[in-house]
Amino acid sequence: MSISKSELAYREKILNNKAYEEYELWISNFASNLNNIWNEQSASVLSTNSSVDVDNHAIVIGRGPSIKKKNHLKLLADSNFSGSIICCDGKLIDVLKAGVTPDKFPNFYVVTVDPAINHVAFYDDPIVKKYGAGIKGIFSVVSDPNTVERARHSGIKIHWVHSLADLNEGKKSFNYITSIMVRAKNHPKGLPAIQTGANVGTSCWFIGWKILKCNKIALIGINHGWNADDSWDLILKELHDHTKPLDKSSVSFKKLFPKLLNPDLNSYFILDPIFQLYRNVLLEFIERSPEWLMTYNATEGGSIFGNRVTTTTLKEFLNVAKINSN
C-alpha cells in the first residue's frame, strides 16, 4: 500500500517538528552545561573492554509497558547477572525500587539525552540519592542542566557525550560547532558521539555498543510501538498538537498508523509516525552494526524484529549470560 505525497508531507511535518521544536533549547542547555563539561569526564573513560572476543553482556532497560507485564525487573533483581545495566532515565526510579541496584549490579549506567526540563523528575527521589554514588551517569551535552545537577547532587558521577541530533550541515551544524567548543578546554580529543535514534532507548543500545564495547546486548522495555488493544485516544494524545483531525476509518489513517504483526511473537502492534521513526532507525543501526555484536530483543512485545535481531525472553538471555560468564 503506497503512501501519497500529502501523507508523506504530513508524516514529515510531525518528524521535523519533533526534531527542531527544541533547537533553541539545545543551544541554551549546551551553553549552561559547558563549564561542567570542561571539568567533568568524557564517557570515553567508561570503555574498559579491550577485546570484542571476550563476552561482555549488557541489558538495556526501557520504559515500554511489556517490562511490567512480563515482570522483568523482579526477574532481573533476583538474578546473578554480572554484565552491564544500561537504564533509560525515565525508568531509573522504578528500576531501583524493584531491587535492581548498583550494590548488586556494579556496572550500572543511567542515560539522559533529552533536553526537556521535566526529566529532572527522573532523578528526584530519595532512592536515587541512596544509590547515586554507585551509578555512572551518561549525559548528552544538550541535557537539561537542572536535570544534570539533580543527578550530580544525588552522587551520580557525570560523563558526557555528544548526541548526533541535527541534520548533516557540515561545519555549520550544531554538532560540529559544539564539538569545537568542547575541545577548547580539557578535552583535546573531544567527546564520544552517539546516534540517538531520537530516543533514549536507542541511545542506550548505541552506548552499549560504541562506548562500553559490549558484544551481547539485550533489550527489555523497548517496545517502540503501541499494543494492538491500546485506545486511539491514548495513541493520539502522545502526538500532542502535531496531529490534525483524521478519519480513523480512512485509508490515510491506516497508512499513518499501521497495525502490523510481529511474527516472532505472533502478536500485533500499532505504529504512529514517531514510533515508525524510532523502530526504523534502531533496526537500521542493528543491521549495520559489526558482526561481533549480537542484539537480543527480550522485550517480549512490541515492534523490534528482523535481520540481526534475536528474539528471546529475559529468562533465556540471563541463562545464556550466566553460562558464558562461568
Query: If you search the block for the grid coordinates 563476552, which residue do you land on?
Result: 55
Contact yes or no for 256/10 (Cβ under 8 A): yes
Over residues 232-242, the pLDDT tens digits come to 888 887 665 55
Alpha-carbon 181 to chain mean position: 26
- Gap between the Cα atoms of 278 and 280, Å rounded: 6
Q: Please tell me the total number of residues recorded for the chain in this structure.
A: 326
pLDDT in tens, the chain (326 residues): 444 555 555 555 555 555 556 788 999 999 999 999 999 999 999 987 666 667 899 999 999 999 999 999 999 999 999 999 999 999 999 999 999 999 999 999 999 999 999 999 999 999 999 999 999 999 999 999 999 999 999 999 999 999 986 555 678 888 889 999 999 999 999 999 999 998 999 999 999 999 999 999 999 999 999 999 999 888 887 665 555 666 777 777 888 899 999 999 999 999 998 999 999 999 999 999 999 999 999 999 999 999 999 999 999 999 989 877 65
- Gap between the Cα atoms of 163 and 263, Å rounded: 33
Q: What angle do CA 44, 47, 52 make, to 5 degrees?
A: 140
- In terms of Cα–Cα distance, which of 217, 235, 218 is closest to 226? 235
Over residues 20-38, the pLDDT tens digits come to 567 889 999 999 999 999 9
Contact yes or no for 146/117 (Cβ under 8 A): yes
